Amino acid sequence: MRLSPALIALLIGCFSVALSLLLEQICSKYLPTTLPELFFLIIQGLVAALLARAIKLAIWWQWILLIFPLAIWLALKLDLTPSFLFGGFLVFVLMYWSVFLTQVPYYPSGQGACDIVAELINDDQHLKILEIGSGLGGFSIQLAKIHPKCTYMGVEIAPLPFFISLIRSKWQDSTVSFKLGNYEKINFADFDLVFAYLSPAAMPKLFEQCKAQMKPGSILVSHEFDVPGVKPSDALQSDLDSKVTYLYRIA
């Protein structure tokens, strides 16, 4: 049985809590002075982060496990009201609820990726462009301003980013249409260019979907993450950041 990274992180978190509680007991029994609780929380975070590193969990899990005990401590010190905490929890659920299933959290691709894709398109082309995992909508809305003759659709699985992208699109009078849903349920055959900024975990399955559905000559553009074992048609680096964008032309 293969455990998901979220479950492994949870188990590591529980283990480090147990270890720091044990350490606290031992110290209070054998040391003449009481050590501050912050000391044990730092140990707890460090143990969890090092364990996550040792078993090669993604870097963001290492940071989450390192900071989590201190964040809880800080929240308790600030004496935040339960309704405030519940509100924060709800925001996180609406933003990141799907990460447990998809292993793809929200983070924006930025101007560099948009510039690279904009360069690939001629001013007189009428391409159909699909952004899979459109997040807050910034990429497609920006690209639509540069190439207004193309048609755009963004699909996003998490409700809060989708809702924000919808409002942004209406607010900015953009032609981009955003849909709430899973891109795995969308037929890529209708699109000339598919833009993805997902995660290494999603790439093999995504490429299979592209090969099965996209027309010959159409293109998958993946920002930052390549398809393991597949040579890209091109790899472009932005001047704005050091990230590479990979192009896969469908044969």
Task: Quote the CA–CA distance of 220 and 193 in Å, as a whole number.
Answer: 6
Task: Quote the CA–CA distance of 40 and 22 in Å, as a whole number.
Answer: 10
Q: State how beta strands 219-223 and 193-196 pair.
A: parallel
Q: Smallest gap, in angstroms, from Cβ of residue 27 to ligand SAM? A: 42
| Residue nearest to ligand SAM according to CB distances in the complex | 133
Q: Smallest gap, in angstroms, from Cβ of residue 212 to ligand SAM? A: 16
Q: Smallest gap, in angstroms, from Cβ of residue 230 to ligand SAM? A: 20
Question: How many positions of this chain bind ligand SAM (CB under 6 A)?
Answer: 24
Enumerate long-range contacts of 88-96, CB under 8 Å, 24 or more apart: 91/160, 94/158, 94/159, 94/160, 95/158, 95/160, 95/161, 96/158
- Going by the DSSP 8-state scheme, the letter that residue 137 receives in this structure is S
What character string, x for contact with ligand SAM (CB under 6 A) and - otherwise, covers 84-123? Answer: --------------x---x-x-xxxx--------------
Residues 6+ apart with CB under 8 A from 75: 85
**How far are the Cα atoms of 93, 107, 142, 157, 220 from residue 117, in angstroms, in the given order?**
31, 18, 11, 23, 11
Q: Smallest gap, in angstroms, from Cβ of residue 109 to ligand SAM? A: 3
Q: Smallest gap, in angstroms, from Cβ of residue 162 to ligand SAM? A: 8
Q: Which two tokens stand for residue 25?
A: 């007991």
Nearer to ligand SAM, 74 or 101 (CB): 101
Nearer to ligand SAM, 182 or 213 (CB): 182
| Site residues (CB under 6 A) for ligand SAM, limited to 131-150 | 131-135, 138-139
Helix (H) or strand (E) holding 145: helix 138-146
What character string, x for contact with ligand SAM (CB under 6 A) and - otherwise, covers 11-30? Answer: --------------------
| Site residues (CB under 6 A) for ligand SAM, limited to 153-212 | 155-158, 161, 182-184, 197-198
Task: Quote the CA–CA distance of 10 and 61 in Å, as a whole number.
Answer: 10
Nearer to ligand SAM, 132 or 150 (CB): 132
Q: Smallest gap, in angstroms, from Cβ of residue 78 to ligand SAM? A: 29
Provide the 3-class DSSP secondary structure of residue 132: strand
Task: Quote the CA–CA distance of 175 and 172 in Å, as a whole number.
Answer: 9
Q: Which stretch binds ligand SAM (CB under 6 A): 7-15, 34-42, 73-81, 129-137?
A: 129-137
- Under the rule (CB under 6 A), what is the footprint of ligand SAM? 98, 102, 104, 106-109, 131-135, 138-139, 155-158, 161, 182-184, 197-198
